[in-house]
Amino acid sequence: MNHSIYSADRMTHLKVVIVALIAGIFVAGFGISARVNSEESFTQTARVIKAGAPVAVSSSNANLVR
């Protein structure tokens, strides 16, 4: 086995490509199977939040003089 990718022969490059292809197929298959098996009860729905009365928020303890 050649330890440098620059001086590797054609067969070594082919082995690297095959291993990368198999790993990519495995990762894609795992992602698809994890998504397909998800339960439908966790679907998101839009909720409407209505605004209430205006509120003044202040972080200062000083008295307001008008």
Which pLDDT belongs to residue 54?
81
Can you give the chain as a three-state secondary structure string?
CCCCCCCCCHHHHHHHHHHHHHHHHHHHHHHHHHHHCCCHHHCCCCCCCCCCCCCCCCCCCCCCCC
Could you tell me the pTM of the whole model? Answer: 0.48
Q: CA 41 to CA 43: how far, in whole Å?
A: 6
| pLDDT values of the chain reduced to their tens digit, one per residue, 66 residues | 666 777 788 888 899 999 999 999 999 999 888 776 555 556 667 788 888 888 777 676 666 666
Which pLDDT belongs to residue 24?
96
